[in-house]
Amino acid sequence: MNAQPPAGIALSINGEATSIMAPPATRLSAALRDSLGLTGTKTGCDAGDCGACTVLLDGAQVCACMVPLAQAEGRAVTTIEGFSATRWGRALGASFLAHGAAQCGICTPGMVMAAAELLAETPAPDEAAVEAALGGVLCRCTGYRAITEAVLAAHRFLDAPPAPAPEDDAVGARLARIDGPEKLDGSALYGADTAPADALWLRPIRSPHAHARFRLGAAPPGVTLLTAADVPGRNGFGIYPHIKDQPVFCAHTALYRGDCVAALVGAREAVLAAELPIEWEPLPALDMAAARAPGAPLVHAHLPGNVLTTGRVISGTPATATHSADIAIRTGFVEHAYIEPEAGYAERIGDQIKIFASTQAPYMDREEVAGVLGIPQEDVRIIPSACGGGFGGKLDVSLQPMLAVAAWKLGRPVRAVYGRPESMAASTKRHPARIQARAGCDAQGRLTHFDFEGDYDTGAYASWGPTVAGRVPVHASGPYRVPAVRAQARAIHSHNPPSGAFRGFGVPQAAIAQEALWDMLADKAGLDRLEFRALNALRAGDTSATGQRLEHSVGLLACLDALRPRWRELRAAAAAANAAGGGALRHGVGVACMWYGIGNTGMSNPSTMRLSLAPDGRLEFRNGAVDIGQGSSTVLAQIAAQALGLRVADLHHINGDTFLTPDAGKTSASRQSFVSGRAAMEAGLALRAAILRRANAGPDAALELRQGVLLVDGAALALSETLHGEGSFDPPTIPLDANGQGIPYACYGFAAQIAALAVDTRLGTIHMQRIVAAHDVGRAINPTLVEGQIHGGIAQGLGLALMEEYIPGRTENLHDYLIPSMGDVPEIETFLIEDPEPLGPYGAKGVGEPALVATAPAIFSAIRDATGAVITRVPALPYRVLEAIARV
């Protein structure tokens, strides 16, 4: 007779009775994911801080990461997989897609399940009810407004027929994102969502000290210890070809808290429970101030003064200034806080290695893995998972090298998933900056000069430090006519976490100082702050401080023109509110502008896209650009289809697989719409030309794919072989010389934003009321996605301004490190300015980073308007706001 099966914990999942064999304290989220394969429930923090794992337990929303499986016994659990197939689930899904409410998609299941509880009670809720119900889920991409709108409108999507292929998918259409449906039903596979069944688990061992020598003991039996000695190739990686300074495993000395010294590999439970003896010898740790002090010890022996890189722009001779102003500011580390922590697996296949992981830069990952293993790049296959947010933080490799080493050495698939504290301690950050700047203008308010000195704490390893030091001086004087500029930025090593790429590469910090000076100068010159900026704004035909003549697509004045009516209205409203006397509240309105070079700084950054049409009518789009939520898959498809003259729905997508897709470069520097977009356009035009040649048709011929048959002007065209179209683009630039002269970027994005707020002058708290944003994007390929970028950038800018400050060892979670929650983001109004860029696809430029840069300066401008206080310490936490007010 068969033995009785062991009794599991019985419960109902999505209406089906089931039983789970797992210990009673198992987190419900883990049981759903690991035992049942229901990976639509995401894990973002395992601490109830992010809400990504929200499910319904007997109809009530709960964080599944804090529910012991035992407490679900006999109860009904509803997950995204079940709910998305229900009447309300379909309605919410359709509304989310229509509103652009899902970007990277990692918070989407949690948002939808939180909404599910609300809508079951209140089918047509108001905004306050939505905020109360969904406020427990954090989103890092959308700025929340689209999510709120989607939930408010969900009832209007009830029982709507399944959407047919949208009729309007041309460039400029608000096409719903093409990778949206799998984000709404939980089927999209992120880094932690899949791995070979026999994969071993890897747990990195990290230094709890900012600087320490160490000696490793032996791993317990059954667990493999990997150390520096196990790295078969170069034990180092880094963004720059000549700076591979970050070890996979430190050899003997850790240089920051979170530095990886070893890894344990084996069966999951054994690895989690294993104790590795380590002798630590803590050493003195340098912060940036100590690292700059004369005679300071060196973080890296070959870098005198701990200076990694210095970038500068020097141009012009200052004219006499009538008014002058100066400022010194200090900013903190900012954490990317993507809701998906790093995760993935590696698998050795013969002499090749395959890596499936969350990334923004598959081709750079390929290079790093090849270097670490000492094998040719062609033998490294990088398959990006769905990416649950990046913002620059997943441009550097994280777990890819160590997974590769483990899988290579052990011949078994190996997977790893970072926990939230580990993700925060180990990953790169936005550079903290100490900036001194001064500027002057003449009696009419025309700028005469701008001087800028910025020290950026680049932490223990180089990462993107040189990029920041290079990009900052170019942008430091802002999108203005400044006859004389002296700007210098240095990247300084310390024993802090490596600072890398974060939406704006140091420019947002610089813009805070620069825009504050403009407010001071405007006041001294007796000019309205917006008009001061308009007076000095760059125009087409002007020459920048790097000596670049800007011929086209300089839409800053148009942005300011769009804002001007709102500026006046909001200023009048604030004045009226202040005159009425609001007790502790003082109202203010601020304005700030920005510019941002699209693509790499004075460096080649090509992209290639490929299309093919097979005789059976299969139209393939091979697109190696990683869609990290911003929507490049959709935008590039719209461009390619438009150029080709076929429909987006006709495309079969092959995305980001270094064995299958050509190199599109990294998803960074706001470059995909511009650089890869142009490549997609060229690919579309090339395939179209091939088809037209084959059909002997004229350039205006209409193409159609109908059930696998290609029609040219209505006549079927049989293909005997597959036709190809490939397009490449590399934006033309000229590297900067020693004084920062050259053509660093082929084009620039421009924007101006207004912030309206009230300051509680007793508590120092900021009550955001409204942001109005005008962005010159050249051409909005997909306005919904562009607005999504702007909203998300504003939310991150607001976080940078008011709350975000990463402190190693102190804020390694999402309750001590605060990112904006749903109620923090005010109403946002956007104006899309389309001053076409001739090099861009259909005129398009980038918007990813430009979205963020102006927000913090606009908020600080408004705080100063309300109170007179100049914010010099960022973030402007309530106590710092009160201190700034006290200095007035």
Partner 1 sequence: MDRYFRPRSLAEALDILAEHTPRPLAGGTDLYPALTGAEAWGPRPALDWMDISGLSALHGIEAAEGGLRIGALVSWTQIATAALPPALAALQQAARQVGGRQVQNRGTLLGNLCNASPAADGVPPLLILDAEIELASAAGTRRLRLGDFLRGNRATARRPDELAVALHIPPPPEAESRFEKLGTRRQLVISIVMVAGLLRLEAGRVAEARIAVGACSAVARRLPGLEAALRGAAPGDVAGIIGGATLDPLTPIADIRGTAEYRLSAARTLVARSLGA
Q: Which residues bind to partner 1, rule: CB under 8 A?
A: 23-25, 27, 45-49, 51, 54, 57, 60-63, 65-68, 70-71, 114, 117, 131-133, 135-138, 206, 208, 272-275, 419-422, 425, 584, 762-765, 802-803, 805, 807, 810-813, 815-816, 818, 820-824, 877-879, 882
How many CA atoms lie within 13 Å of 438's alpha carbon, on the beta-carbon side? Answer: 6
Closest to partner 1 by CB, 874 vs 882, is 882
Residues paired with 597 in a beta bridge: 748
Closest to partner 1 by CB, 380 vs 802, is 802
Backbone φ, ψ for residue 289 (5° rounding): -60, -45
Q: In which residue are the tokens 């803590």 written?
A: 282
Closest to partner 1 by CB, 42 vs 420, is 420
We find the least distance from the C-beta atom of residue 47 to partner 1, in angstroms, to be 4
We find the least distance from the C-beta atom of residue 125 to partner 1, in angstroms, to be 13
Distance, in Å, from the CA atom of 28 to the CA atom of 45, rounded to the nearest integer, reads: 14
**Taking a C-beta distance cutoff of 8 angstroms, is the pair 868, 810 a contact?**
no
Closest to partner 1 by CB, 583 vs 698, is 583
What angle in degrees, to the nearest 10, is found between the helix axes of 87-99 and 145-153? 140
Q: In which residue are the tokens 């992010």 written?
A: 50
Edge-to-edge strand ranges of the sheet holding 9-13: 16-20, 9-13, 76-78, 54-57, 60-63
Structure tokens at 787: 């607005």
Is residue 673 helix, strand or coil?
helix
Can you count the helices (H) and strands (E) in the chain? 22, 33
Contacts of 630 (CB under 8 A, 6+ apart): 103, 667, 672, 785, 788, 789, 848
Closest to partner 1 by CB, 50 vs 710, is 50
We find the least distance from the C-beta atom of residue 427 to partner 1, in angstroms, to be 14
We find the least distance from the C-beta atom of residue 61 to partner 1, in angstroms, to be 5
Distance, in Å, from the CA atom of 155 to the CA atom of 126, rounded to the nearest integer, reads: 12
Closest to partner 1 by CB, 465 vs 497, is 497
Amino acid (one-letter) located at 864: R
We find the least distance from the C-beta atom of residue 855 to partner 1, in angstroms, to be 16
CA-closest candidate to residue 505, choices 597, 435, 427: 597
Closest to partner 1 by CB, 422 vs 835, is 422
Closest to partner 1 by CB, 339 vs 877, is 877
Alpha carbon distances (Å) from 649 to 275, 315, 620, 704: 53, 51, 11, 11
Structure tokens at 672: 């995909």
We find the least distance from the C-beta atom of residue 865 to partner 1, in angstroms, to be 22
Q: Is 387 left (phi over 0), alpha (psi -120 to 50) or beta?
A: beta
Closest to partner 1 by CB, 415 vs 779, is 415
Closest to partner 1 by CB, 172 vs 220, is 220
We find the least distance from the C-beta atom of residue 103 to partner 1, in angstroms, to be 20
We find the least distance from the C-beta atom of residue 41 to partner 1, in angstroms, to be 13
**Taking a C-beta distance cutoff of 8 angstroms, is the pair 529, 723 a contact?**
no
We find the least distance from the C-beta atom of residue 446 to partner 1, in angstroms, to be 40
We find the least distance from the C-beta atom of residue 29 to partner 1, in angstroms, to be 10
Distance, in Å, from the CA atom of 714 to the CA atom of 720, rounded to the nearest integer, reads: 19
Q: In which residue are the tokens 């604030």 written?
A: 574
